[in-house]
Amino acid sequence: MKAQVLSLEGEKKKEMELPKIFETEYSPELIKRSVLAIESNAMQPKGSDVWAGRKTTAVYIGARRYSQGDRTINTGRARRPRTKNRRHLLYGRVAGISGSVKGPKAFPPQTEKNIKEKINKKEKKKALESAIAATAKKELVEKRGHKANGIELPLIIENEFENLKKTKEVSSVLKKLNLWEDVLRAKKRKTTRAGKGKRRGRKYKRAKSVLIVTGEKSELAKSSRNIEGLDVVNSRNLNAKLLAPGTVAGRLTLWTENAIKELNARETR
């Protein structure tokens, strides 16, 4: 299976043989498991203080006997712990139990809970290969909502693209490759998040656009970081989450020649 390599001007430069990884069978269930496993590793255990809602003077005296001075039964009041803020226990406020005002939760979250999803190494590798192969299937790319009109997949560009140091140069190349329309789509979908999340480091909701895969560490990560929805990653650091955001495979991906060569080297290991 061969694919054409494009120049910085968007013209066909040559052809190169694709690695067999692009012929991997599409497995959406396996990709979803891999993405969820990656996302679960970023989660932080949460739990409440064991004394939350219990720091009170409330106490329940469970006297069942009846005597002249016992006024805790047969009074039409619930037998629950009451605060010692009045002269008699009978007139206290119920506190310190779930269901009372400012009381503890009945079943609060526990820090001991196992929140990490696990996946076997071979399954994780197979999911990554399947997600890589999905980037070459135009029907999957368009199903994700990407603008791929007039684009032949997989999209490969010459290595000089990795040496661009200015954002306007990267933008110019993306326009010549017919990828700028997808960047504008992601830019229009940027919205302000509703709720408290605005105050917690995630003010905006953003869409994913083009993923650029390089073969070596380059200046491209800095020169393209201000382009909305665009991500740059080294081929050695590829994972299912980058290739399938939201567990849906088929992200519009731009490969460099070095990235394809790295995939070939990975197969021989």
Q: Tens digits of per-residue pLDDT, 200-217?
A: 999 999 999 999 999 988
Q: What percent of the chain has pLDDT over 70?
A: 91
| Residue pair 193/202 in contact by the 8 Å Cβ criterion | yes
Which long-range contacts (C-beta less than 8 Å, at least 24 apart) are formed by 166-170? 166/223, 167/223, 167/224, 167/226, 167/227, 169/223, 170/220, 170/223, 170/224, 170/227
Return d(Cα 17, Cα 235) in angstroms, integer. Answer: 17
Q: How large is the average pLDDT for residues 41-64?
A: 87
Residue 129 lies in a domain: yes
Task: Name the band, by pLDDT with cuts 50, 70 and 90, for residue 66.
Answer: low
Residue 141 lies in a domain: yes
- Entry pTM: 0.84
Residue 54 lies in a domain: no
Q: Are residues 21 and 84 in the same domain?
A: no
Residue 245 lies in a domain: yes
pLDDT score for 198: 96
pLDDT score for 63: 59
Structure-model confidence comparison of residues 52 and 72, the more confident one: 52
pLDDT exceeds cutoff 70 at 68: no
pLDDT exceeds cutoff 90 at 173: yes
Q: Are residues 98 and 221 in the same domain?
A: no
Q: Are residues 241 and 170 in the same domain?
A: yes
* Structural domain boundaries enclosing 264: 2-43+115-268
Q: What is the CATH number of the domain that holds 120?
A: 3.40.1370.10
- Residue entry with tokens 């206290």: 92
pLDDT exceeds cutoff 70 at 69: no
Distance from the first to the final alpha carbon of the chain: 21
- Maximum separation of any 2 CA atoms in the chain, in Å: 103
Q: Are residues 102 and 86 in the same domain?
A: yes
Q: Are residues 181 and 81 in the same domain?
A: no
Q: How large is the average pLDDT for residues 106-116?
A: 93
Q: Are residues 101 and 130 in the same domain?
A: no
pLDDT score for 269: 62
pLDDT score for 37: 97
pLDDT in tens, 231-242: 999 999 999 999
Q: Are residues 169 and 235 in the same domain?
A: yes
Residue 62 lies in a domain: no
Task: Name the band, by pLDDT with cuts 50, 70 and 90, for residue 143.
Answer: very high
Q: Are residues 38 and 125 in the same domain?
A: yes
Give the CA angle between residues 242, 22, 25 to the nearest 5°.
90
Task: Name the band, by pLDDT with cuts 50, 70 and 90, for residue 167.
Answer: very high
pLDDT score for 7: 95
Three-state secondary structure along the chain? Answer: CEEEEECCCCCEEEEEECCHHHHCCCCHHHHHHHHHHHHHCCCCCCCCCCCCCCCCCCECCCCCCCCCCCCCCCCCCCCCCECCCCCCHHHCCECCCCCCCCCCCCCCCCCCCCCCCCCCHHHHHHHHHHHHHHCCCHHHHHHCCCCCCCCCCCEEECHHHHHCCCHHHHHHHHHHCCCHHHHHHHHHCCEECCCHHHHCCCCEECCCCCEEEECCCCCHHHHCCCCCCCEEEEHHHCCHHHHCHHHCCCCCEEEEHHHHHHHHHHHHC
Q: Are residues 88 and 36 in the same domain?
A: no
For the chain, give the mean pLDDT.
Answer: 91
Q: Are residues 239 and 149 in the same domain?
A: yes
Q: How large is the average pLDDT for residues 178-182?
A: 96
pLDDT score for 265: 86
pLDDT exceeds cutoff 70 at 64: no
Give the CA angle between residues 26, 39, 24 to the nearest 5°.
15
Q: Are residues 17 and 90 in the same domain?
A: no
**Count of the separate structural domains present in the chain:** 2
pLDDT score for 1: 82
Of 57, 82, 114, the residue that ends a domain is 114
Residue 68 lies in a domain: no
Query: 197, 263, 89, 189: which is closest to 253 by C-alpha?
Result: 263
Q: Are residues 153 and 110 in the same domain?
A: no
